[in-house]
């Protein structure tokens, strides 16, 4: 039984655009994953300056517009994967790190993999 996973690529927001070589490599990797049916959706995310957070604390709602000066890393992209196991989803995400390491020297960040609960297969 396949499970869907949300994957976030997180990095410092001030790193600038990804090198062309990484964009090409990620495009190829994502194209293959879409063709295989293991990638459901993917995309980049706007910066924190374009974001709004609505928080509930002490019974009070508070709306705050970005940017988040205290944030060390922000989610810069996402994908939704369908995998037979958590390990398979993690291996797919590890490939993202490998491509960044290969095509963007000095890049630092992380990839977070989380199961999507309450979906059609759960």
pTM confidence score: 0.85
Which range is least confidently modeled, 1-5, 82-86, 101-105, 117-121? 117-121
Q: What's the pLDDT score for residue 1?
A: 81
Q: What's the average model confidence in pLDDT over 16-29?
A: 95
Length of the chain: 122
The CA distance from 38 to 84, in Å, is 9
Q: What's the pLDDT score for residue 81?
A: 96
Q: What's the pLDDT score for residue 66?
A: 87
Tokens of 72: 């060390």
Domains of the chain with CATH codes: 3-45+73-115 (3.30.70.1060)
Closest alpha carbon to 112 in 84, 76, 69? 76
The CA distance from 35 to 103, in Å, is 23
- β-partners of residue 118 are none
- β-partners of residue 64 are 53
Q: Residues 57-96: pLDDT tens digits?
A: 999 999 999 887 777 788 999 999 999 999 999 999 999 9
Q: Would you call 75 exposed, middle or buried from its count of C-beta atoms within 10 A (0-12, 13-18, 19+)?
A: buried
Question: Contact, 95 vs 68, CB < 8 A?
Answer: no
Q: What's the pLDDT score for residue 120?
A: 55
- Residue 119's pLDDT band, with cuts at 50, 70 and 90, is low
Closest alpha carbon to 42 in 87, 17, 10, 8? 8
- Tell me the percentage of the chain whose pLDDT exceeds 70: 97
Q: Residues 100-111: pLDDT tens digits?
A: 999 999 999 999
């Amino acid at each position: 039984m396949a499970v869907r996973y949300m994957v976030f690529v997180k990095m410092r927001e001030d790193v600038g655009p990804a090198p062309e070589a990484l964009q090409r490599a990620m495009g190829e990797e994502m194209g293959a994953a879409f063709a295989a049916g293991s990638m459901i959706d993917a995309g980049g995310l706007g910066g924190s300056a374009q974001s709004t957070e609505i928080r509930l604390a002490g019974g009070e709602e508070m709306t705050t517009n970005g940017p988040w000066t205290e944030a060390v890393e922000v989610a810069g992209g996402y994908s939704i994967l369908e995998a037979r196991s958590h390990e398979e989803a993690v291996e797919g995400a590890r490939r993202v790190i490998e491509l960044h390491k290969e095509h963007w020297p000095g890049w630092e960040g992380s990839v977070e993999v989380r199961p999507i609960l309450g979906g059609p297969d759960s």
